[in-house]
Homo-oligomer: A and B are copies of this chain.
Amino acid sequence: MREFDVVAFDADDTLWHSEDGFRAAEERFVRLLSPFAPDGIDVAEALTAMERANLAVYGYGVKAFGLSMIEAAIAIGQERVPSSVFAEIVDVTRDLLLAPVRLLSDVAQVLERVSGRYKLVLITKGDLIHQTRKVRTSGLDHHFHHVEIVLEKDRETYRRVLDQLEIAPDRFLMIGNSIRSDIQPVLDEGGHAVHVPYPYLWELEKVDVLPIGPRFAELGSLKELPAWLGITAH
């Protein structure tokens, strides 16, 4: 069996669906705003540009996305957007915040098996209240020794979490769907990382290169994790 003191998981798009919900919300936004957009304006691109511009002020998560939708509607619609459209944008935002957690396939069984052998930690970014709600209502909470909701998943954050939990980097494994947030900074800090891609990746998480090296692996699905770790079947 591979030796780690802690196996850490990303949450959104690693344990449960998230990005598909944002895509559906974005499509609702495009349908709502298209009647008000001047010719030649790509509504979806304008929204992504607004999210990118707002990231440093609003951070990650659904409330940030909601405010960016409001601002994009104002910018795109130029005074023509009525109050009822803003009301629908609020509904889109609330629907995302209150949507039930939809677990990815095999997640519960995988965590059950892996938590029998390793100490598990959850590391996620986004809204404090939304991420907490999802963790608590996922039914997976009890598998995790520690849950960390962070502002940004960069080298500094991983260093702080490893220090705080007193984990040596080479005894730490992170599993997630984003090379930018879950994989590269962990490898850069001397940790191990397993990439499990999700069908959709948010524009602002995209990177050009895939890491290579002995401390990195890519799996097709989370179902392959127990075997990769060397946990034998019951």
B-contacting residues of A (Cβ < 8 Å)?
Answer: 57-59, 63-64, 66-67, 70-71, 73-74, 77-84, 86-87, 90, 93-94, 97-98, 127-129, 132, 149-151, 164
Contact = CB atoms under 8 A, between A and B. Distances in A.
Nearest to A129: B59
A32 to B, nearest CB: 13
Q: How many copies does the complex hold?
A: 2
Question: Interface centre among A94, A98, A129, A150, by most B CB within 10 Å?
Answer: A129
Contact of A82 (B58, B73, B79): B79
Given A67-B66, A129-B151, A83 B93 contact: no
A83 B80 contact: yes
A24 B81 CA distance: 27
A174 B119 CA distance: 31
Contacts of A64: 63
Given A59-B128, A71-B90, A74-B90, 19 more contacts: A57-B94, A57-B98, A58-B63, A58-B129, A59-B127, A59-B129, A66-B67, A67-B67, A67-B93, A74-B86, A74-B87, A79-B82, A79-B83, A79-B84, A81-B83, A127-B128, A128-B128, A128-B149, A164-B164
Q: Is the interface of A mostly helix, strand, loop or mixed?
A: helix
Which 5 pairs across A and B sit closest by C-beta, in order of nearness? A59-B129, A63-B63, A128-B151, A74-B87, A81-B83
B63 A67 contact: yes
7 contacts: A57-B97, A57-B129, A59-B127, A74-B87, A77-B83, A79-B84, A128-B149
Nearest to A126: B128
A90 B77 contact: no
Contacts of A82: 79, 83
A67 to B, nearest CB: 6
B86 A86 contact: yes
Contacts of A132: 151
